[in-house]
Amino acid sequence: MPAAEKNMNERGNAPWIMHVDMDAFFTSIEQLDNPRLRNLPIAVGGMTRGVISTASYEARKFGVHSAMPTALALRLCPRLILLPCRMARYSEVSRRIMETLRGFSPLVEQASIDEAYLEATGLERLFGPPEELCKKVMEAVFRATGGLTCSIGLAPVKFLAKIASDLHKPHGCTILRESEVQAFLQTLPVGKIPGVGQAFLRELAEFGIKTCADVCTRPRSFWERRFGKSGLSLFLRAQGIDERGVVPYRKPKSESAETTLEQDTTDRALLCGWLYRHAERVGRALRRQGFCGRVVTLKIKYRDFSLVTRRATLTEPTCATQTIFSAAKDLLEALDPQRPVRLIGVGVSGFDNAPAQGFLPQASPAHEEELRRRRLDKALDAIGDKIVTGRLLCAGKQ
C-alpha cells in the first residue's frame, strides 16, 4: 500500500511530508556575516583549484553552480569572489535550523547540512492549513538564523516534497496536494526525480523516455528486467509511489575526507601527508560516533580528471588512525607513481559487517597493536586540536 494511503487510513489526516531546503546556504551565511558581500557574485570553495561548493544567486546568473570546476566558474564570471569554506560556522547555523524545525514536528530527518524532511501529517491542527504552516516554518527559520531564507515543498510523499521545494527558489513554497499528484507527474521530466543521473537519462532517452507519463507506458516487468532496482524505483516514482517515511536518524554507511590539491603532484611524501590528515579526520569522526569499519577506500583523481578508487578489506573492523592510514598508503603505493594527482581522499565503510565495536575477540600481536593504536587515539582525541602530532608531520616519510 502506498505510504500516502497508509497514513490516511491510520490517522484520518491527509498525508504530508515537508522538505525544507536552505537557499544558497554557504554563500548566504557569508553574505549575512559580511554585508559588504551582499548583491555580489560570490562562491564558497574551489579557491584556486577544485570545484565550487555553493554559488550565490548573483553568481548563478552567470551560469556558475555547485560542483563546477573553479577555472570554468572564473571564466564565466571573472568578477566572482571566491571564499574559503567555514564548515564550523555552517554547522553551527545548521544545528540552529534543525532545532527550529523540531519545534514544529518531532519527526525531523536531516538529509544534509542544509536540508531536512518533516513528518507534517496532522500539523494543521497546531499550525493551521498547509499554506499557514509553510509560512510559519519559513518565518521561524528566518528568525533563528538572523535572516536566512529557505524554500519549502509540501507533498504526500517524500520524493515529491523534495522536487516541490526546488520549483520556486529562492524563498519559495510549493504545495502539491494528493489530488494534484497525477496531473503533476504527467509532464514531469524524469530527470527531476532524485537519483536519476545523467548516465541513466541517456539510457532512458534511447527508449524515448522523457517524462513520467512515458515511463508508465511500459510494464513493471520491463523496468525490473532492463534496469533492476533503479528501474523499479523509477517505475514506482512515475506513479507517485514512495513508501519511505521520515526517519529522524539513519546510521551512516561510510565516513570519508578528501582534498583537491593546489597543484597536481607526483610527490609521494606529499600525498602520504594528505593521506594521514584524512585518516586522522576520518578516524576521529568514527570514534566520536562509536563506529568501526572493515573497508578502507582510497580515492584518486588525476590531472586528466580520470577517477580511480581502490579498496582494502581488513581482517578486523577499525577506527584507528594509523590502521586507516597504513591501508590507504598500501593502496596508493600500488598505483602508477608517474601520473600527476589532482585530488586525494580516504574513506572507511563496512560498518554493518563489523562485530562488537568495543574490543577485538582474540589475542594476537596484530590485535594488540590495534588496541594500542586505539588507546593512543583516545588520548590524542582528549587533547583535541591543541597539538599537532609528530606522526602527522612525518607521515609522508613512513
Please name which of 114, 134, 110, 128 lies closest in space to residue 246, comparing C-alpha atoms: 110
The answer to whether residue 186 scores a pLDDT higher than 60 is yes
Count of beta carbons in the 10 Å neighbourhood of residue 42:
26
| Torsion sign (Cα): 231, 234, 238, 244 | positive
pLDDT, average across residues 275-287:
90
DSSP state of 340: P
Residue range 81-98, pLDDT digits in tens: 999 988 889 999 999 999
Q: What pLDDT does 6 receive?
A: 44
Q: Which residue segments constitute the domains of the chain, with CATH numbers given?
A: 17-121+142-174 (3.40.1170.60), 187-238 (1.10.150.20), 254-397 (3.30.1490.100)
Q: Are 64 and 52 in contact (CB under 8 A)?
A: yes
**With bands split at pLDDT 50, 70 and 90, how would you rate the model's confidence at 34?**
very high
Q: How far is CA 166 from CA 119, 124, 163, 337, in A?
A: 18, 23, 6, 44
The answer to whether residue 16 scores a pLDDT higher than 80 is yes
Q: Which residues are catalytic?
A: 115
pLDDT, average across residues 187-205:
92
**225 vs 377, higher pLDDT:** 225
**With bands split at pLDDT 50, 70 and 90, how would you rate the model's confidence at 379?**
confident
Mean pLDDT, the chain, whole residue set: 87
Q: What pLDDT does 343 receive?
A: 92
Q: What pLDDT does 371 receive?
A: 76
pTM: 0.73
